[in-house]
Structure 1
Amino acid sequence: MFSRTCEYGIRAMIFIAQHSKNGARVGIREIAAGIDSPEHFIAKIMQELGRKGVVQSVKGPNGGFYLDDKGRECTLAKIVRMLDGDQLFTGCGLGLRQCSEAHPCPIHEEFKKIRQEIGAMLENSRIGEFTAKLDEHQLFLKRK
């Protein structure tokens, strides 16, 4: 459903929210280990998210990434749009460019409902809301 970039980006943002909630900063190595991703790949993703203003960073020996209150309120939908574009929210289930209300593909109506439900879930999910359940080990971010 998401690109690998988007999967890692969402997981990284949730990981950072969990580990920076008390003012700590999280380095690339720690993020990569915590979400089971390659360091170089997650570094590029974090650089992009930093440029777009959803995550903050500080350089230097005590530096790293962190989220402020605004970052914790960022929706998963915003991260998806930043990293994958709008295709998930507007695209055809069969990947057809000409699919529309006026010229629907065979799965248009059913896929439209699914796309709307996924969009609503992503719009209503904020990065910071997952931290308590992660702390309680009700959720996880890394493959075992």
Structure 2
Amino acid sequence: MFSKTCEYAIRALIYIAQKSKDGSRIGIKDIASGIDSPEYFIAKILQELSRKDFVQSAKGPNGGFYMDETNLTLSVADIVREMDGDKLFSGCGLGLKECSEECPCPIHNDFKGIRQEIQDMLERFKINMFVEDLDLKMTFLKR
């Protein structure tokens, strides 16, 4: 459903939120290991997310990535839009360029409801909502 880049971005932001809640900062190696991602790939993703203020970073010996209060209220939908665009929430279920109410594809009417349910769910889930479940080991980012 999401691109690999988007998957890693979501997992990394959740992981950083969990690990930095005590004020600490998390390095690339720990993040890559914690979410089972290639280090070079997650570094590139986090650099972009940092530039766009989805995550904070600090350089130096005590540097790394961390989340502030604003970052913690980001929804999964916000991350998806940033990484993959709006296609999941507005695109055709068959991938057609021209699909609308006036010129629907064969699955248009059923898919628009599913698409809306996915968008609503991803809007509802905020980064900070995942931290407690991870701490309690009720959910996982890596198995």
Same fold (TM over 0.5): yes
Matching residue of 1:51: 51
**Structure 1: runs of 5+ lacking an equivalent:** none
Amino-acid identity (%): 63
CA drift at 1:54: 1.1
RMSD over aligned Cα atoms: 0.5
Residue 58 of structure 1 aligns with an amino acid whose one-letter code is: A
- The CA deviation string for residues 18-73 of structure 1, in whole angstroms up to 9 with x for no partner, is 00001010100000000000000000100111011110000111100000000000
In structure 1, distance between residues paired with 2:7 and 2:117: 19
In structure 1, distance between residues paired with 2:31 and 2:115: 30
- The CA deviation string for residues 70-120 of structure 1, in whole angstroms up to 9 with x for no partner, is 000011111001100011010001000001111000000111111000000
In structure 1, distance between residues paired with 2:52 and 2:81: 11
- Please give the secondary structure, in 1, of the residue aligned with 2:125: coil
What is the correspondence of 1:37-116 to structure 2 with a 5 Å cutoff? 37-116=37-116
What is the correspondence of 1:111-126 to structure 2 with a 5 Å cutoff? 111-126=111-126
Matching residue of 1:15: 15
Displaced runs of 4 or more, over 2 A: none
Matching residue of 1:133: 133
